[in-house]
Amino acid sequence: MEYMACGKPVIASHTSGHKDILTKDNALLLDQLEPFQIYQEDGQLWADWEEPSVDQLVSQIEYAYHHRDKVRQLANQAGTDLQRYSWAESAKSLLSTLAKYGGNTK
């Protein structure tokens, strides 16, 4: 997020919290994801995430190298998009959510 807010291009996995900020218009997405789990010796799930495709990562790096003008456009859009994630906007959003669910915001 911080790098994008500086108007820099990113290649990022389109999973988990990244989905809140990444779009095809502000980043090169890694969206070919495979489930990945790690289990403890007793069989209990210890970690669970989605692993991006190495082939897609290489492809996105090559794309970025050969399409620098397009990548600059993505970076500029990222900088614009991330302006809505200021501390002030985050606080407003939190207060709005709390009020929506009956929380005291005063």
Residue 56 lies in a domain: yes
pLDDT at 104 over 80: no
What pLDDT sits at residue 15? 92
pLDDT digits (tens, 9 = 90+) for 76-102: 999 999 998 888 888 898 899 999 887
pLDDT band at 36 (very low <50, low <70, confident <90, very high): very high
Q: Provide the 3-class DSSP secondary structure of residue 100.
A: helix
Weakest mean pLDDT among 37-41, 66-70, 99-103? 99-103
Q: 96 in a domain, yes or no? A: yes
72/49 Cα distance (integer angstroms): 30
**How far is residue 12's CA from residue 52's CA, in Å, rounded to a whole number?**
9
Asked if residue 105 is part of any domain, the answer here is no
Q: Stretch 30-44: mean pLDDT, rounded?
A: 96
Domain holding 90, by residue range, is 2-100
Number of domains in the chain: 1
Question: Average model confidence (pLDDT) for the chain?
Answer: 93
Q: Do the domain assignments include residue 23?
A: yes
Higher pLDDT, 10 or 90: 10
Q: Which residues contact 38 (CB under 8 A, 6 or more apart)?
A: 45, 46, 47, 48
pLDDT of residue 82: 93
